[in-house]
Amino acid sequence: MILLITLRKALRQAGDGDKARVMQAYMKSDMPYHGVPAPLLRELCKEAFAELTFSTPLAWRELVLGLWRGARFREERYAALNLAGDKRAAAFQTPAAMKMYEELIVTGAWWDYVDDIASHRVGVILRNHPAPIRRKMLSWSRSNNLWKRRTAILCQLGFKTQTDLGLLYACIEPSVGSRQFFLQKAIGWALRQYAWTDSREIKRYVRLNRDRLSALSCREALRNA
């Protein structure tokens, strides 16, 4: 894939071996890094993607998946996420894109990928197509895959007064007693975000469910309440 080859060359030239080792250790990643900081990565992506044209949703998805599947370094997968969120693809952020995002979530299987997709991609589609994505999030909240569960919990981050509280609580419910750190943290984070909008409601919810929620979820939920 020419795009991946071009991007990899630019990332390799801009990379820093010492930073790469630190970044890989911090992220506990099996996949190595080039050692390119996020601001520079965005600039390199902007240059690499400048001449791309997205004539159809399928063409866009193929480019994103080509980068993702062909990646050998973590920044190359970050670049795929950057392309997924390209402004020129705004019209393609529909329920039809969810199959692609599901693949990225399941195969990425780590918080740096999943949280970005949940809040900035799935959340956007949920806003614009609430009925089908609401059903999908309810299904994902009961999935055997913890990253799909985490996505369902976090997809409304930043919704503020537009938060579908019933959906949030319903997506939390299947994981409310989980001992899995990434689910406990997600529950606390989602509740804390809504506490900025209605702290009284989050205090009420935590008080009602304190015996079922983990200490981590409670602590995170009430941090701003």
Structure tokens at 184: 């406990």
Same fold, 1-92 and 109-225: yes
In the chain, alpha helices (H): 2-14, 17-27, 38-49, 57-70, 74-84, 98-108, 111-117, 123-128, 130-140, 146-154, 165-172, 181-195, 199-209, 215-221
Query: DSSP state, 122?
Result: I
- Collect all residues with Cβ–Cβ distance below 8 Å to 218 and sequence separation of at least 6: 188, 206, 210
Give the per-residue pLDDT at 112.
Answer: 97
How many CB atoms lie under 10 A from the CB of residue 123? 20
CATH fold of 109-225: Leucine-rich Repeat Variant (1.25.10)
Predicted pLDDT at 1: 79
- Map out the domains of the chain as residue ranges: 1-92, 109-225
The enclosing H or E element of 210 equals none
In angstroms, the Cα distances linking 75 to 63, 84, 183 are: 16, 14, 25
Count, in order, helices (H) and strands (E) of the chain: 14, 0
* CATH class of the domain comprising 1-92: mainly alpha
Query: What pTM, to 2 d.p., does this model score?
Result: 0.96
- What is the per-residue pLDDT for 79? 98
Tell me the pLDDT of the chain (225 aa) as tens digits: 799 999 999 999 999 999 999 999 999 999 999 999 999 999 999 999 999 998 899 999 999 999 999 999 999 999 999 999 999 999 999 999 999 999 999 999 999 999 999 999 999 999 999 999 999 999 999 999 999 999 999 999 999 999 999 999 999 999 999 999 999 999 999 999 999 999 999 999 999 999 999 999 999 999 987
> Which pLDDT score is estimated for 43?
97
